[in-house]
Structures are given as structure tokens and as C-alpha cells.
Chains A and B, each alone.
Chain A
Amino acid sequence: MDLQSRQDIEIGLFMQALRLRHGYDFAGYARASFNRRVRALAEASGAASISALTERLIHDEPFLAEVIGRLSVPVSEMFRNPPVFDLLRREVLPVLASYPQINIWQAGCAHGEEAYSMAILLKEAGLYARARIYATDISELALERARAGIYPLREAQLFSSNYLQAGGSGSLSDWYTAAYQHIKLDQALAERITFANHNLAADGVFGEMHLILCRNVLIYFGEPLQQRALALFRDSLVRGGFLCLGDRERPSEPRFAQDFGAIAPGASVFRRVTAR
């Protein structure tokens, strides 16, 4: 038996252990990328093999946080893909302004960059006081970092230029203080953000949302899991609510086309069209 198929067995067992021991079901994730990340995890935690990893997973309780942290991909930046934020600012926020309370769900918030970006957008539109942002992620480690709102100074340049491209009206530096080679975002931004653990693969709807941002998360999911997540979003959104997906994420599901319409041709922001 070659190494490849042996490893497949190991990864299968690992996945099963994760599900049985901790309830995390990664079966719905895109297989290739999941395999890659399990291998990376084994390497990073110095396990001799994936089976060793499995063993540790079963017996070492605190190890779970690290595993989940590494299996998810917490990569993002503030105002990532600026035109989308510009679109949100111009087209979506004015509509949201007509709701007495604005609930926004950032599903898969990574280290919180986009949640904070959204907060800045709302602050600048004067809507933050009646908005509420739920930033959820599967990884506790990522959430911890998101709560802190501290990012390396070297990324500040990219953030700033993104901010300006997204049509920012001031300077991003209004929102952070730089020290010790890091920037720390204004705590006032976190005031109405709720960082919470939520697993798109297992957990349910937790509230009525007006805007859901879930960018570059579905790409890691297999087809059935994508459908599950989209159903969650559909059930969460109010009629006429908005869903913002990643740039390359166009679900092929027929139900999706039926429930959602893009707000502009080619845009990655969709609006819920059907009645409940």
C-alpha cells in the first residue's frame, strides 16, 4: 500500500476521532484542502504521523483549540477586496438604514479584520449605534485574536490603501494607535461586535439578520455543506436582506438562484428575494 492511500486512511480516522471525541464534523469540507491542512497540522505540532495526531487529539483536551485553529484558515485583511466594501457602502448601507435595528453576521470572521472594517463603515455612515455585528468563527484561537483587535504594523499599509480604495472618507489611522510594531484598533469599534463561536457545519440559526458576510469560507466546503450554510443564511436573513460572498463564490445550487439575486451584475453581494 503506498503512502498516499495509507495517509488517506489516517486522515479518515482523524476526522472520525474529531467528530466522535469533540463533535466537530469536517466531513463536509472540501477534501483536498482539508487533507492539506491536516498534514500541515501534523507537521506544525511535531507529530510523527497523522495517527499520532489522532492519538493526541483523543487524549489531550486542550489540544483541540490548536487543531481547530489550524484546520480553519484564518486569513484576511481589513477592507479586503475594496470594491466590495465600496459597494456595501454605496448600495447596501442606505437600505439597511431603513431598518430600526441592523443585525450583521460575519460568518467565519478569522481574526476580525472584516468585522472591524464593517464597524468602521457603519460608524462612518452614522449607523453604528443601531447596528449589531455578530462575528463568528469555529476557532476559539482566532476569536481570541479577533477580540484583541491587534495586527502587525506591516499590514497597516495594506489596510490603509484598501480603506482608501473602498471609498473611506477619512484615514484609517483615525481608528487605530500604533505601538510596539503593532496597530491596535479603537475599542469603540468593538462595542457592538459580539464575537462568538459558531460552527456552520453543525450549529443553527441564532438570529434575524439584515446583512450576512461570509467571504471566502464556502470555498473550503464541499457541496452539501455549502448548501447547509446557504440554507442557514437564507433562514437567518430577513426578506430583502443581503448576503455578501467571496469574489469567486457563486453557488451553483438552483435553490440559491431562486432565493437570491445579485444586486448588480457580477457583484458578489446578493439580496434575498423570496418571501419566507
Chain B
Amino acid sequence: MAEAPAEIAEGAPLSQLRRWVADLSLLAKFRLIIFALLILFVCAGLAFLMVQQRETVARRWTVHTYQALWTAERAETALLNMRLSLRDGLLGADASKIEAFQVESDRYDALFSELRELMRDNPVQEVRLERIENLKRDWDEGFVRPSVERLRSPDLLQQKRSADDLLALINNGSSALGSLQGELTQMRAVEHGLLATRIGVLDRAAALGRDVVLLALLLALISTLYALIAARRLLAEPLRRLIQLIPDISAGGHAAAIPYRWRRDEVGEFARSLSALAKLVEGRAGDDWVKTRLASLAGDLQLADTHEAFGDALLRSLCPPLDAGYGVAYRWDALAGELQACASYGVSAADLSSRKFKPGQGLVGQCVAEKRTLSLSPVPPTYLKVVSGLGSMMPDTLSFAPLFSRGEIVGVVELASLKPPSALRAELLAQARAPSALAWQTLARSLRTAELLDVTRSQSEELRSSEESLRIQQEELQSSNEALRSRSQLLEQQSGQLIASEEELRAQAEELRLANETLRERSTALRARQAELEAARGTLERHAEQLERASRYKSEFLANMSHELRTPLNSLLILSKGLADNEDGNLQPDQVESARIVHDAGRNLLQLINDILDLSKVEAGRMLVVSEDVGLRGFATLQERNFRHVARSHDLEFKVVIGDDAPQTVRTDGTRLGQIVVNLLANAFKFTEKGSVTLHIGRPDEESLRHAGLAGLVPGRAIGFKVSDTGIGIPPDRLDAIFQPFEQVDSGTARRFGGTGLGLSIARGMAGLLGGSLQAHSAIGVGSSFLLILPERLDVAGAAIDASAAVAAEVPTAAATSRPAEPLEPSYAQAPASDERAVLLIVEDDASFANILAGLAARKSIPTRVVSSGAEALKAAAEMPLLGVLLDIGLPDISGWQVLQQLKALPATQQVPVHIISASDDLDRGLALGAVGVLTKPVSRESVLAALDRVIAPGGDGAAAPRRVLLVDDDLGSRAAVRKLLEPETAQIEEAQNASEASTALRARRFDCLILDLGLPDVSGLDLLDELSAAGVSLPPVVVYSGRELSPDEMLRLRQYTESIVIKGSRAPERLLDEVSLFLHALTPPRSAGAAAPADVVRDVAGRHVLIVDDDMRNIFALSKALRTRKLEVTMAQDGYKALTQLDSNPGIDLVLMDIMMPGMDGYETIRRIRERDQWKQLPIIAVTAKAMTGDRERCLQAGANDYCAKPIDIDQLMSQIRVWI
């Protein structure tokens, strides 16, 4: 649209508006016209309507005025008629006229009100109407009313006579009416005036309507005409002109000459399209020319086979069409890196070779550097001229075109044109560059290929000659190959031999392996034998242990016995001393002598017993050792003083020497040390008749230390007490024997010197307790010396105390095993065997206890029969009806368990209540077997009475006795609910609302089931159970019915008594019934399995403390029960954390049984944690796990367990494992 302003200038007369119109599109133009016409039409219509409106209004007013006129006229007529009627009536004294008057009067009134209605719009007329009304009223007053009255009066005829009056009246009426009529006439005149005006208005409106119609018609005509003319000017004319141009354009006309391109409507569009078409046609012609030239150029260039020929062809093809007077072609010499002229046009070729340019040098080089065509115009006059035979002329333009192919410079063409450059020629030059560059490059390459081909040819010649020499070398190689082959054959043979030897080796290896295996088998056998040996050694050790224990028992026994003996001796001594003193003086001297002998003998006996006691204490390890500081000097002085008078009386020399190397004090048990030394000194004085006795205190020498077997002591840390005498001496073969109890050098010695022979044994035992030793050296006739060596500082490790505790724990059991074998004859009356009365059978082998039982039963007047063995009991049960049985377990023939089982197995005695009273520990088993109760000895009188109640209370024959349930709950409603629930069970339900009631009931009677709420007002249910069980009350099966959830600790505690715990909830009653009926119907209520295990009390592990770690209550209880029956102390932990805590708070735990699969911290982890602590590094841990696979055992041991036991647990196996590790 750049040319638009020029065209506007051409079409100068066009006004701005017309230009705007012309620019509108065709559709917009049509819209414009139609819109204009529409507006015109609407305006005309509106004007016409307005006129019409005014005409209607005018007409209405005209009609209105006519109506007013007519009404006024009729009113006047009515008035006149009224007067006429009245006058006629008056004159003719005709009263009937009054009717006519009345009609007219009414009509007037109607008309008058109509008139008033019509006149409302006109104030002037309204005033007038008011006036008319007043006049009418006057008329009425003055004429009408008197007239009417007169006419109505009865003396109408008499009145007729006063005609004057009448006439006056009528005249009066006429004048009033006259003014009334005048007003009405005036009114009509006014209305007539109005009518004339309104008709005028009507006429004017009609005229205006006509004018409007005419004007509209005229305007429509004019605008239509204008639209037609405009259409022709703006559309038809330009289109026709453009169409006329088309043939011109198709013939290659000029784009610039096409008009209307500036317009923005369709015509403009059309013009612009034409213009584009024209340009296209024009361009196409130029292209054709360029293409023709390029085609001929390509053809010419194809023919060239050297650079020079190519340059010539290029210039020849380019110069004429480009109107170039001369031209030079430059070739790019890649080796020299410069452009070299190779062909020329119009100039001599002689000096071409000297024309060389580097890139950027001169215009030729510059165009290469810039990579574009450079033009220089006009050429300066001093520049080269184009010369011909006729003259010379200046070139107009110089052009330098670089030739690039694929980005590489190939050459440059320089041209000097005679004419100024045209676009078409520039185009030709530009287009010619690429193909000619490509052709030139191709040519250069083919020339280069030809060169290379030459080189290759010469090289292949050389190759052929070298092949010859190769062949010769090959032959040499072949021959050497031959040699090699023969050598490799040799090698092959050798390798064959190798294989053979390898085979042999393999065979040997096989033999070796076999031998190895045999060896291994042998070693296995050896190992087995070793294991056997080990086992044998274990057995031996155990035997030795048992032996040692037996000896300890013996000592223990002695200790006990001595005590028992000493008590009566004491009184014997006191009494005999009293007798011997003969204070009353009533005894004969020989009697006194006898008493003294008795006393002395008793004292000797007491001494002996004391010695035995000491010895046994020492041997049993029960002697208490107290470590204290003992000053040696004081000790020595004491000994010296003690024995000074003995020495004097024996006439012996007594020396006490303290060595220089002796310490001030030693730490040991001073009392025991004194006992030993006194014993030694007493012996020395006893066996020495003349000479001396010496006590030497000092460091012992190494020799004697070693001799004493106290190699652990060094001389610097030991102290020796040496007692030497010059007595009779001891033969060497008796040196050891003198330390044995009851031994002396010979029996003769005893007689000579007296003494019990226990002193040295005791002394040596005490020396051992003090961590030292006592040895003797002697020579017959020369004397003896006893050397006591003690550590300077005695460390009391509590070993002696421990040992004594262990023994003490075993003593009662040991004692318990010794039962009186022979039953005493019962002292209470027995029911005769033949008596048919039912009796209480007392099975008890301890006669005195049997008597006590029988006595208590007699007090309750229960007939009894006492038997002392199981066989007798069964026999008695078969012979006589039984009220009940009190049964001991440890019977001389068969065990009470068997008796109980047999009683329960026989139909006749099945229902007989059996109560167990025994010292046995696992009495719960009795309940499982159907006993009504158990009592553990020792028993109290009260508990026996309670047991008797329990046995006798169920009634004569307990067969039909209903099951009894004790229901303990503090809530009445809850009790009622449970009672209701248990209705179908027909059980006898007893209720208790607190723990004390429950406790009383349970102590008094036997129940089959206890339903227990935990939250009781006085004591909690759990504590109640603990209390009852501690008091030895046998509990029936317990069902806990709790309203709250339980903590794990509570569950653990409860689990000791029951597995049946029901938490109240929607489905709980159902379960409660289930649990209770199980106990009510079961003949043998379920108890945990551990109780059924035979109670072989394993003495070597008894009293040891085991920690059971398991998350499962059932396992914990089964295990702990089984272990407790074997006298082990058991602590439980429900998880790993608790296990660690338990270990911390119970340092005495000897062994841990560890479950592996636990929540939180599993067993592996727990074991690892335990092993982390130094003091638990050696603690035996046995892993107990349900996992039974190969790797599981290894994993347990890896974690640090000492052994492994798979669930389900074989208790015997577990016990032997425990025994191994404790």
C-alpha cells in the first residue's frame, strides 16, 4: 500500500467522504443504502402518525362541544316545559299537571348534571353553570315551589279566585326563567365559539398530514437516485477499468499502472491481486532469461578439462549477457593459499600469471574475505578502459564475484560492465556463482584424481617387485615350519606320557583320600570314645560329689546330734555337780565319789561332743570365719601367760619367740587361730615329759610353703606358727594318721595321755578354713614340731557361709526322707472291721499323726479307721462303706497317688471324698485326680478340722451332690445376672459380696468352681487368691469375670491360679457359661500339663535360680510349674526388656531360659544385650524356641546362647540341659 498516497493525489477531486464510502466493503455499502432508506421511511411514518394523532384529538373536542350544545338546548326545553306545565296547572287549577312537571323537572336535573360533567374542563363555563344553578334555585323559590304547593293544596279551586295572585306568581316565574334562559343561551354561544376554533384545528391537522406524505415521497426519490449514481461511480466504473487492464497484464504489462490498489474494499482487493499477478508475470520473464543463460553456461563449463579452459568458458558465457567489456577469472591455489588469474576476456592473457592475490588483498582478495560479490561504480577515470579497434570507452561498473562451493573458495570472477547494473543481471551473476563454483571444484577434483591415479600406478609397479622378495621369504618360512612340526610331534609324545602319570597321580590321590577318610572315621571313633570317657568322668565326678555330699551329710548329722546330746548333758552335769558337791552333806563319801565320776564322765562326754561338733562344723563348712586384725605380740603374750603355769607344773621350759621378719599384725580369725595354737601347745605339753616347748612366730620358708601345698602364697605374704617340743615323737608312718579324727599314735598312747584324738583334726580343718595348712615333723625320741602356715591377710570370700547355706537347705529334705519305719499301735478306738457303719478312713503311716487325726475326728464324733499302708487302705475301702478318706502320699508300700487313682477308678468308691494330707509338694495334682482338697504338712489343728468338714460335709454319699459354685462379686445386679446365666447348670450357687466373705466360704466348704470379680470392696480378687493360696486353702477352679482390662503383670499373677479370664462385654456371658460349665461337668478339671510331671527332686540343681523369658503365658506357667516341682527357684519375664531388668535386680540368677520369638526385642537381641555386660558373660542361657530348623540352632548359639531347646519342651531333656549348664 506504499503507492496509495500517490493515487490519492491522482484522484484529488474525491472528497474525504467519498473516499470513506469507497473504502467500505460491498456489503457495507449495501447496508448503508438500505439503512438510509429505512431511516427515511421510519421518519415519514412517524410524522404521519403524529399528524393523525392531532387530528383525532381535534375531532374529539369537536364532538364534545356538540354534545354540550345539544344538552344545553334540551335543558332549556325542559325548563320551558316545566314552566308550561305549572302555568297550565295553575291556570286550569288542574292538579294533574303536576305529574308532567315532575317528569320535566327530573329530566332537567339529569341534563344539568350531564352538563356539569361536560363542562368540567372549562372553568368559565363552570362558573356559568354555578350561576345557572343559583338562578334555578331562585326560580324554584319564587315560582315553582309556591306553584306546586298551590296545586297540591286541597283548596285549589278556591285559590282560583285570586287570579291576581296567580298572575303575579306566573309573571314572577317568567322573569326568573328569562334570566335563566339568557344564561343558557350565553353558554351555548360560548360553546359555538369553541366549536368554530376546534373545527379550524381539525382542518390544519389534515393539511399537515398531506404535506408530510408529499415530502417523504420526494426525499425517497432523491436518495434512490443518489444511490444509483454512487454505485455506478464507486463499483461499476472501477471494475470495468480493471477488467480492461487484464489482457494488458497477461501480455507482461506493468504492475505500477494498476489503479485503485489503495482501496480497502473488494475493488481494492481485486486491483491488488491484479497487481501481484502482473508482478508475477514480469518476474517469470526475467527468470526465464536467467535460466537460459545458466543452462548454456553449464553446458560450456562441462566441456572444460583444464583450469584455463574452464576460466575461458566461464568468462565467455558470462561477459556478453552481463554487458561486460572485459573479465578475468582467478583460480584458488590451495597449496599457495592465493588466487591466481587463469583466464581473461577482452584483455591480453600475457601477463595473467603475474596477477596473484591473497584473501583480503585488493578488491579480488577482499571479495573472498567478505564472501560476497563486490561492485564498484562508477569506475574512476584513471582505471582501465575497454579498447576496441574503433576506440575505447570507460566501463561503468566493476564486479568481483567470489566462487564458493560447500564453503570452500574455488575462484573469483572479475568483470567490468559497460552498462549500469540491472537487477536481472545481478541475479544472473548471483545464480551463476554456485553452479560454476561447483563445476570448477569438480574439475579441480577430477584433475587431482588423475594426478593421484598416476601416483598409484607407479606404486603398484613397486609392489609387484616387492612381492617377489616376499615369495622367497615364504619359502624359507615353510622350511622352518617343517622343523617345528617335527619338534611338536615330540612334544605330543611327551604330553601323552604326562597324562598317564597324571592318571596315576589321581589314583594315588584317591587312595590318599580313602586313607584320610579311614583316619577321619578313626578320629570320629576316638572322639566318641573321648566323649564316653568324658561322660564317664562326669559320672565319676558326680559320684565324687555325691560322696562328698554324703560325708557332709554325715557331719551335718553329727552337728545336729551333738546339739541334741548336749542339752540333756547340761542338766546331767549340773545335777551331778550338785550331788558331788554334797552341799547338804547327806551323802556318803562313796556316793559323792560316784557323783563326781558321773560328773567327770559327763564333762568328758561334753568335751567329746564339743570336739565332734567343732570337727563336724569344720567338715561341713559351717564354721563361721570372721576376719580381723590380730596383733602378734599380744597373741604371743597371751599364749605365754596361758601355758606358763602348765610348763611350771610339768617342769618344762616354755619359750615364745617372735621372728624379726614377722609383721606387727596379721588379718585372720583370731579366735580360731587361738584355738589351733592352744590345741598344738596343749598337745606338746601333754606329750613332753622333759625338755622344752617352743612357740615360734615368723615368716615360713619357701620349702615349707611348698610342702604345705600352699604354692599360691609367697613367704612375704604368709605367717608361720611353729610349736616344737622335745617329747616322745611320732613315727613317720603315723604322721598323716594323727590328723584323722579319733586317731592317736597308738591306742596305748590314748590310755597314757587321754584325750579324744580329735584336736589335730579340728586344728587342721580350721587351718584350712583360714586359708592355710598345718603340717607335722617328728622324730621318735627327739621331739615333734607342728607348723601352722596362714596367709598374712585372710580374705573372707564367704565360701564357708555359702556352703553352709546350701547344706542347710538340704537338711530338712534329708531328714524328711527318714520316716519312722515301724508304725506305732494307734491308741484310739478303731471301728471294728465288721461294723457296717460308714467310717472315715485315715491312711497315714506316721502313727502319732494318725492318732492326732483320729482324735480330732473322734471329737467331731466321726467314726474312723486308721490304716498305715496303701494296700490296707484299698482293702478297707473294699470291705466297708466310707464317709471319706484322709490320705497321706508317702506310704510305705504304694504311693498315695495310686491309692487315690484306684479309689476313683472303682465305681463303689468313686464318689467318696478324698482329702490329701501330705508333706509332698505337688499336691495340686491331687485336685486333678479328684481329691476334694489338699493339705501340706506340717498342718495346724484348724486346717485338719476344716479338712474333716470338707470330707464329711458333702453328705453321706456324695454321688448326687449338686455342683457348687461360689460367686464373688460386689455388685448385686451383676450377681443376679450370672445366677440367671447359670440357671441351666442346676448348680448350687453361693454368693459372696466381698473378699472376706469369699475367704470364709472357701475355707469352710468345698466348691467346684469359683467365679471371681477382681474389683472387690475390701481386698482385690487377686490379693484374695494370693492370700488363700498362701494360707494353704485349696482353691477350686477359678473363673475370673472382670469388668476391666488387665495389665500384663496382673495377668501374670492371675495365671498362677487360672487360665479362665473373661472380660465383661457383649459376648462375655456366653464365654463365662462356657468356662464355668467346663469345670462343672469335667470329672477331672483341666490343669496345666506341668503339674502332671513326676516330681523327681533333682538335688544337684535344687534351689538354683532360673529366669524364664517368654511372652507366652501358657509356656511360662507350664515351664515354671515343672521347674518349681523340681525345687528350682523361678523368676519370670514376659519380654526382653523385663528380662534385663530382672537380671539386674536378681544377681543370683543361675540360668536363663530364653524364648526367641518375642515382640519388641526378640530373643537373639536379648541374648546379645545380656552378653554385652561383663558380669553376664558367663551366665548360662538356654534358648527355647519353636523354630526347629538346622539354621535356628546355629543362630541361637551365634547370638550367645549356650544351648538350645526346641518347643514343645521335653522337660526331662530340658532338666538335663539345665544340669549341664548350672
Also in contact, A204 and B1206, with CB within 8 A (given A101-B1048, A198-B1157, A275-B1082):
yes
What 0/1 readout, one digit per residue, does chain A (185-213) give for beta carbons within 8 Å of chain B?
00000001010111100111111100000
A132 to B1162, CA, bound (A): 14
Which of A129, A130, A194, A203 has most chain B Cβ within 10 Å?
A203
Residue numbers in A under 8 Å from B1189 (CB-CB): 22-24, 199, 202-203
Also in contact, A94 and B1067, with CB within 8 A (given A23-B1191, A100-B1051, A207-B1115):
yes
- Shortest B1105–chain A CB gap in Å is 25
- Shortest A231–chain B CB gap in Å is 11
Residue numbers in A under 8 Å from B1113 (CB-CB): 101, 208
- Closest residue of chain B to A201 (Cβ to Cβ) is B1189
Within 8 A of A (CB), among B1104-1124: 1111-1115
Also in contact, A100 and B1045, with CB within 8 A (given A240-B1071, A240-B1074):
yes
A206 to B1156, CA, bound (A): 9
Residue numbers in B under 8 Å from A238 (CB-CB): 1059
**A206→B1066 contact, CB < 8 A:** no
Is A154 part of the contact surface with B, judged by Cβ < 8 Å?
A: no
- Closest residue of chain A to B1185 (Cβ to Cβ) is A206
Within 8 A of B (CB), among A74-103: 94-95, 97-101, 103
Contact partner of B1159 (CB less than 8 A), chosen from A94, A192, A235, is: A192
What 0/1 readout, one digit per residue, does chain A (26-56) give for beta carbons within 8 Å of chain B?
0000000000000000000000000000000
**B1186→A205 contact, CB < 8 A:** yes
Contact partner of B1061 (CB less than 8 A), chosen from A99, A198, A206, is: A99
Also in contact, A275 and B1086, with CB within 8 A (given A23-B1191, A24-B1189):
yes
- Closest residue of chain A to B1208 (Cβ to Cβ) is A204
Is A276 part of the contact surface with B, judged by Cβ < 8 Å?
A: yes
- Closest residue of chain B to A207 (Cβ to Cβ) is B1112
**B1112→A208 contact, CB < 8 A:** yes
A207 to B1042, CA, bound (A): 23
Is B170 part of the contact surface with A, judged by Cβ < 8 Å?
A: no
**B1158→A204 contact, CB < 8 A:** no
Which of B1068, B1112, B1162 has most chain A Cβ within 10 Å?
B1112
Within 8 A of A (CB), among B1150-1196: 1155, 1157-1160, 1162, 1185-1192
- Closest residue of chain B to A91 (Cβ to Cβ) is B1067
A146 to B484, CA, bound (A): 70
Is B1078 part of the contact surface with A, judged by Cβ < 8 Å?
A: yes
Which of A98, A129, A194, A198 has most chain B Cβ within 10 Å?
A98
Residue numbers in B under 8 Å from A275 (CB-CB): 1078, 1082, 1086
Also in contact, A132 and B1159, with CB within 8 A (given A97-B1063, A97-B1068, A206-B1112):
yes
**A97→B1208 contact, CB < 8 A:** no
Within 8 A of A (CB), among B1127-1171: 1155, 1157-1160, 1162
A240 to B1074, CA, bound (A): 9
- Closest residue of chain A to B1041 (Cβ to Cβ) is A98
- Shortest A81–chain B CB gap in Å is 23
- Closest residue of chain A to B1111 (Cβ to Cβ) is A207
A205 to B1115, CA, bound (A): 10
Also in contact, A95 and B1207, with CB within 8 A (given A22-B1190, A202-B1189, A203-B1188):
no
What 0/1 readout, one digit per residue, does chain A (118-140) give for beta carbons within 8 Å of chain B?
00000000000110101000000
Is B782 part of the contact surface with A, judged by Cβ < 8 Å?
A: no
A207 to B1208, CA, bound (A): 10
Within 8 A of A (CB), among B1038-1060: 1042, 1045-1046, 1048, 1050-1051, 1054, 1059
Residue numbers in A under 8 Å from B1046 (CB-CB): 100-101
Residue numbers in A under 8 Å from B1162 (CB-CB): 194, 196
Is B1070 part of the contact surface with A, judged by Cβ < 8 Å?
A: yes
A103 to B1158, CA, bound (A): 12
Is B1064 part of the contact surface with A, judged by Cβ < 8 Å?
A: yes
- Closest residue of chain B to A199 (Cβ to Cβ) is B1189
A275 to B1050, CA, bound (A): 25
Within 8 A of A (CB), among B1010-1069: 1042, 1045-1046, 1048, 1050-1051, 1054, 1059, 1061-1068
Contact partner of A202 (CB less than 8 A), chosen from B1067, B1115, B1158, B1188, is: B1188
- Closest residue of chain B to A232 (Cβ to Cβ) is B1186
- Closest residue of chain A to B1191 (Cβ to Cβ) is A23
A198 to B1067, CA, bound (A): 32
**B1186→A100 contact, CB < 8 A:** no
Residue numbers in B under 8 Å from A23 (CB-CB): 1189-1192
**B1045→A130 contact, CB < 8 A:** yes
A132 to B1112, CA, bound (A): 11
A239 to B1039, CA, bound (A): 14
**B1065→A194 contact, CB < 8 A:** no
A24 to B1191, CA, bound (A): 10
What 0/1 readout, one digit per residue, does chain B (448-485) give for beta carbons within 8 Å of chain A?
00000000000000000000000000000000000000
- Closest residue of chain B to A94 (Cβ to Cβ) is B1067
A98 to B1189, CA, bound (A): 36
Within 8 A of A (CB), among B1200-1218: 1206-1208
**B1063→A204 contact, CB < 8 A:** no
**A101→B1159 contact, CB < 8 A:** no
Also in contact, A98 and B1067, with CB within 8 A (given A196-B1157, A206-B1112):
yes
Residue numbers in A under 8 Å from B1188 (CB-CB): 202-204
A205 to B1207, CA, bound (A): 7
A103 to B1189, CA, bound (A): 24
- Closest residue of chain A to B1078 (Cβ to Cβ) is A275
A208 to B1112, CA, bound (A): 6
**A100→B1042 contact, CB < 8 A:** yes
A204 to B1066, CA, bound (A): 34
Residue numbers in B under 8 Å from A134 (CB-CB): 1157, 1159
What 0/1 readout, one digit per residue, does chain B (676-715) give for beta carbons within 8 Å of chain A?
0000000000000000000000000000000000000000
Residue numbers in B under 8 Å from A94 (CB-CB): 1065-1067
What 0/1 readout, one digit per residue, does chain B (1079-1091) give for beta carbons within 8 Å of chain A?
0001000100000
**A98→B1186 contact, CB < 8 A:** no
**B1191→A22 contact, CB < 8 A:** yes
Within 8 A of B (CB), among A101-115: 101, 103
**A98→B1045 contact, CB < 8 A:** no
**B1071→A95 contact, CB < 8 A:** yes
- Shortest B360–chain A CB gap in Å is 64
- Shortest B256–chain A CB gap in Å is 70
**B1187→A197 contact, CB < 8 A:** yes
A129 to B1046, CA, bound (A): 11
A132 to B1208, CA, bound (A): 21
- Closest residue of chain A to B1186 (Cβ to Cβ) is A206
Residue numbers in A under 8 Å from B1155 (CB-CB): 206
- Shortest B747–chain A CB gap in Å is 69
Within 8 A of A (CB), among B325-359: none
A134 to B1189, CA, bound (A): 19
Residue numbers in A under 8 Å from B1208 (CB-CB): 204-205, 235
Residue numbers in A under 8 Å from B1082 (CB-CB): 275
Residue numbers in B under 8 Å from A240 (CB-CB): 1071, 1074
Residue numbers in A under 8 Å from B1111 (CB-CB): 132, 207
**A97→B1051 contact, CB < 8 A:** no
- Closest residue of chain A to B1114 (Cβ to Cβ) is A208
- Shortest A57–chain B CB gap in Å is 14
Residue numbers in A under 8 Å from B1185 (CB-CB): 206
- Closest residue of chain A to B1045 (Cβ to Cβ) is A130
**A198→B1186 contact, CB < 8 A:** yes
| Top 9 closest pairs, chain A to chain B, by CB | A23-B1190, A207-B1112, A206-B1186, A23-B1189, A208-B1114, A98-B1068, A204-B1186, A194-B1159, A94-B1067
Give me 10 A-to-B residue pairs in the complex whose CB atoms sit less than 8 angstroms apart, sorted by A's number. Answer: A94-B1067, A97-B1063, A100-B1046, A100-B1051, A130-B1045, A134-B1159, A194-B1160, A204-B1188, A206-B1185, A208-B1115
Known interface pairs A129-B1045, A206-B1207; 14 further A-B residue pairs with C-beta atoms within 8 A, sorted by A's residue number: A23-B1191, A98-B1064, A98-B1065, A98-B1071, A100-B1042, A100-B1045, A101-B1113, A194-B1158, A199-B1187, A204-B1186, A206-B1157, A206-B1186, A207-B1111, A275-B1086
